[in-house]
Amino acid sequence: MGEVDPAFIQALEHRPKPHSIEAQNIPLIDLSPLIKHPDSLSGLVVEIGDACQNWGFFQVINHGVPSKCRQKVESAARKFFALPKEEKRKVSRDEGNPFGYYDSEHTKNVRDWKEVFDFAVQNPIIIPASHEPADMEMKELFNKWPESLPELREACDEHTAEMEKLAFKLLELIALSLGLPKDRLNGFFKDQTSRVRLNYYPPCPAPHLTLGVGRHKDTGVLTILAQDNVAGLEVKRKTDGQWILVKPTPDAYIINVGDIFQVWSNDKYESVEHRVVVNSEKERFSIPYFLYPSHYTWVEPLEELINEQNPARFKRYNWGKFRATRNYGNLKKLNVENIQISHFRI
């Protein structure tokens, strides 16, 4: 059974179920029409719109990302997390800079059974210096890379470039599915604040008491996740609130819409809760790419999607300040709920 630090122990109602060998999986979508029939995408657009509306999550295959590129980043991530703690701590995140290595993140005030390495897609990145609404000062942040493992940076750069291409294809398909022009949303990303995380979930002696990541929603526009062949991600099914394990499909990426799409679509595409279960034998690796807009973006329901019958359900909020407030809360481990889009609900 083994003893684990009480900081990791979930309240009874949030502990994973023994499991859930579910027949149902999230939708699997074939993106090959993008290459084969770029002029007749209506079937694909409907499929994506249905998946966004009914699940908030789907997997994609034939996405155009070379498997070699993905294998390279997975193997570099394995090497990084296998380094001695002192090596990893040389690139630790700190109060002033949320990028780098971290092994004690808390989700909803319970410690996650994981280690992470974060970096920004644009380097340097410009974001608000503080979460205080009146403070207009900006700061420049640089990524931190381990000197002893140069291949990590190289593999991450290559994979991130592929993720970015895929993210914009998906952004356009989702825009079309909402009845918008394909490039309607592209302008929000001129100075994008997107980031990538390498997740490492070590084997856990008490997997029935802990979670790799506690239940949460992603705050951004959309997330593209590469997971290895060890299952662990669970998605809350909208129809009945059951936790559904996402079975790994070789070479597929898992896509979910985040809070910003929920606001943009005025609740049509809800950002769905998910979490990660760990296991006692196998370690697991995953790599999410979080698509985030420019820090100066005001997030609000798109004007084309609201009218008198369907008025805006959210007040606008500033993306840079929202993230700064979230990071402040994460670091200080405040005993209050993190900032959420529900705080802007009208």
Alpha-carbon radius of gyration of the chain: 20
Nearer to ligand OGA, 130 or 242 (CB): 242
Instruction: Confirm or reject binding of residue 199 to ligand OGA (CB under 6 A).
Output: yes
Instruction: Confirm or reject binding of residue 234 to ligand OGA (CB under 6 A).
Output: no
Nearer to ligand OGA, 88 or 114 (CB): 114
Calculate the alpha carbon distances from 52 to 42, 257, 265, 341 in Å. 15, 7, 11, 18
Looking at residues 283 to 302 of the shown chain, list those that interact with ligand OGA (rule: CB under 6 A): 286, 288
* Binding partner of residue 286 among ligand OGA, Ni ion, none, CB cut-off 5 to 8 Å per kind: ligand OGA
Measured at the CA of 294, the angle between CA 182 and CA 218, to 5 degrees, comes to 80
Nearest residue to ligand OGA, scored by beta-carbon proximity = 286
Instruction: Confirm or reject binding of residue 233 to ligand OGA (CB under 6 A).
Output: yes
Of the residues 48, 255, 276, 278, which one makes contact with ligand OGA according to CB under 6 A: 276
Instruction: Confirm or reject binding of residue 228 to Ni ion (CB under 5 A).
Output: no
Q: What's the CA gap between 87 and 90, in Å, rounded?
A: 5
Instruction: Confirm or reject binding of residue 118 to Ni ion (CB under 5 A).
Output: no
Q: Residue 21 CA to chain centroid, in angstroms? A: 24
Instruction: Single out the residue of 338, 323, 346, 330 nearest to residue 127, CA to CA.
Output: 323
Binding segment for ligand OGA among 43-51, 127-135, 136-144, 227-235 (CB under 6 A)?
227-235
User: Which residue intervals of the chain are DSSP H helices?
Assistant: 33-36, 42-54, 67-82, 85-89, 150-177, 259-264, 319-332
Q: What's the CA gap between 7 and 210, in Å, rounded?
A: 9
Residue 190 backbone phi and psi in degrees, to 5: -55, -45
* Binding partner of residue 47 among Ni ion, ligand OGA, none, CB cut-off 5 to 8 Å per kind: none
Instruction: Confirm or reject binding of residue 162 to Ni ion (CB under 5 A).
Output: no
- Which positions lie near Ni ion, rule CB under 5 A? 218
- Which positions lie near ligand OGA, rule CB under 6 A? 197, 199, 213, 218, 225, 227, 232-233, 274, 276, 286, 288
